[in-house]
Structure 1
Amino acid sequence: MMTTIFKTMLVTSLRDKITMFYSVIFPIALLIGLGYYFDNEDYSPRLVTGVIALSSLFWGVSGIAFQVHWQRSRGVYKLLKLTPYPTISFIFLMTAARTLLGIMINLLVLTAGVLMFDVTISIISLLGSIGIMFIGILCFTCLGFLISNFANNEGQINMISNLFFFPMIFGTDTFYSLEKAPEWVSTMGDLFPLGYYVKGLRAVLEISNESPLEMIIILVIYSVALLVLAAFTFKWESNGQLQVKKYKHRTVV
């Protein structure tokens, strides 16, 4: 059962062309464009980590949210409900499958950044970055799962996702410094996990002097909290299917 779910999740994730575009092609294009515009050796490492974080965010949040909505609307979870499989185990297995693919995608983006900007990375830094990627993508995937539980259609998924994307991207120093920004901007950014993920990447890649352990702990806390919330709010059927059931029940009565 577990193996089947894991394989199915991997296959369906790879078929998601839109998410693959925003997680692979768009970040690499961003590396090329911003790298050409900001031709600065000191900025290159910041750009690479920022683009990796953006790829993780798109893959984790948008990818899983649309995938879960698609599966739920087609009654996939109704069949799963008939099995004695625990909800939280199912959610964790799905997020783990996407996290594994997300790490591979991030390593591809990292490789592109290393080749383009001649960034030097040691074996220890590479292993550390894989660990941070695992926790970060897992965290974003749990967030995407949670969003899918509240959205009734794809339009609502986009709307809710953007409510998280804007403060996370523009409220953190992912691509630029916030030293001269108003205090409320950085305070808003600190409420979300992206900033800690970026700092963790920079720490393990030896771009900054911050402690990666602190960032890892914070990301783990976010991941656990989001996973639990996703499990408690999980819906086996879409709202449309539930409304049809209610209508049929009233008709029979």
Structure 2
Amino acid sequence: MKPIIGIAANIMLHPIEALKNTQVAYTPYDFVTGIANCGGVPMIIPITDCQHIKTYVNSIHGLILAGGQDISPLLYSEEPRPELNETMPLRDQFEIALIHETLKQKKPIFGICRGLQIINVAKGGTLYQDLNSQLHVNIKHIQDTLPHFTEHSINTTENSIIRRLVGEKSFVNTLHHQAIKDLAPSLKATAFSPDGLIEAIESEDETQYILAVQWHPEILLESQHTESIALFSEFVKQCQQHILT
């Protein structure tokens, strides 16, 4: 049996003019092909009432949390700064509930960009609402180069999942203006950019698979980026092992 992997969806207005007021549940197709190519069965989970969360999680063997809007700072007791971009509180609440139920069922979680951030917030951490105004970082974190190309390096920590998958040093793309400020107590930082920002997190509990990264490996899959393929392959493998246990 192939593992069924839930991908938490986003909402957008339909791009066709005649349907411009119609809301659409979607996920970037790179996630679908990435999971399928690594042997998993992708299943998109639309944002609905939280009463359906348990049913969704019962139906999957692992959860992917994708990129998208900024996360509401009200969730970590801060007022919104002027530099904050669009938020979607409905998505925030739904994904936090989804994370908690997935953890309750001890199923693997893979977070990407916003996915890393919402995992941290769900478990009690905080974020920089805007890097340039709050931290004055000295490397570029929103690249002008096409995202299919890597932009800056990361360094991984010893004895981590991310070190095993991508090595001590790797190069990644970058498309974020928010980042982890205070790391949740039950998580550990396992990769950093040259300016010290957290680029990957994992669970302190070795029986719970959590791997989340600040970059977009799903976009790099198109160029056969070896490290990105390794991230998706490992996640599908973890979900397969969950079936067997």
TM-score for both structures, normalised by structure 2:
0.30
Larger Rg: 1
Q: TM-score, normalised by structure 1?
A: 0.30
Of the two structures, which has the highest relative contact order with CA contacts closer than 8 Å and spacing of 6 or more? 1
Greater share of helix: 1
Tell me which protein shows more strand as a share of its residues. Answer: 2
